[in-house]
Structure 1
Amino acid sequence: MVCHAAQAKTLCTRRVAIIVSGTIYVCMTLLAIPSVIRYKTVSCHDPHHNKTVYNIVVTDLWMNETFVVAYNWTQNLLRSVIPFLVLIILNTYIINALRKTRANRRFSARNRITFMLIMVIVVFVVCITPDAIMSTCFGFGYYDANLLVKGIREFTDTLLTVNAALNFVLYCLFNKNIRDHFRTIFCRGYVERRVAHEPDESEYRRLSDQKNHQSTTTMTPIQKSATTHV
């Protein structure tokens, strides 16, 4: 919408958005399945306490070093590295386009939305980078890691959660329409006050018709003839 507004009208459609979102959802769900079966629970006998205990061990699939390396790189490329690079490159183009059009008041509303999206992307980059480094460069897991790695993992996982939680906050901060829709859905008092201050639709139509009638009656015969001709 900022760099290629003409093409955006044909590319950014509801149908395309549904297809892209659905495809990403299915692909990333399938990609996450091996992570679910990374560990398994086994029972064993504890001779010191003479009872059965349960331990968590790595599955045979994840004992295969070739699979682990291939899967980790595939997952981290699709989940972190490629989105990170794409967002950085596209953000650079968007910022350059905004700098060229910032003096034009016609783009003020669009710029606010674009700035909001830039902030969302910046938060994403900040929150996703530690996890991407830990997963891609070091390939550390969680249960089979040492205490230091587990502590760092808790921090990076918290950043991922914060990233998901902050998006809605940023939308509300930078976009009045989203705030109004949120209030309309969840704040009954806001809806009642808004209805009380907004004119009735029939009253608005009556006032509009009255204004148009007054404008027509004040026109000279020549103006009426010219308007009818047009």
Structure 2
Amino acid sequence: MLPSDVFSHVSAALIHGLDPVDAGTKKVEISRSAYSRSYPDMTLYDRTIAVEDVDHSLSYPVTSLPRTLADIALDHPLEVSVPLISEAMREGRATRESIEPHFAAGARGLKRARLALTLSNADYESNAEAFCAVKFRRHGVTGMIPQVNTYSPTGKFIGRNDFRHDRAPVIVEVHGVGKYYMHPKGPDQAARENHQRNMNLVNAGFRVFNLTFGDLFRPNIFAQIKWAIDSAINNH
């Protein structure tokens, strides 16, 4: 590395301690005011980095977190940027207002970057949920609201759902390993509670989709969700 080089993009996000669902690249990413070039194990971005946009408090010189997230939004797919931006928002480490000023007018990828900010949300309780929100967008599923309290017709609290549609009785839960193995009474108890809650939701008239992480990569699952929403709205 040259003395003026700084780690940027996903490499910087990792140094900042963020946890990507999809890294988007296996290469080290570095920004320098010289030239852009791609090597088998490294991508160089020709970028002017202001002094205030370099963080020297970590093990290596990296772009500041807001600048890092802006660069990722400009240069990487939504599947990479939205979970990372949402994680930083959830942890109170970045805001839309701190990221957006780093979007230069006319920059390549600007439309996608602004969409990434729109889709990002501190309400997602995991990066997998943020990734799921991107897949909703990819597959034309609209109206899904994150982290909604759901009640029975008699007003009894059933649970807080990862996503619930704003018009149709459709719920989507994104299940990671942590939901089971981080339960204080163990995975078996977690599974029993999840099954009971699922039955309570079904009895209250909801169609529930329980997605594993692998399901997030299966287009047919999102086609089923979209069909369930459209059918419920059209038959209402």
TM-score by length of 1: 0.25
Q: Which has the higher strand share?
A: 2
TM-score by length of 2: 0.24
Q: Which has the larger radius of gyration?
A: 1
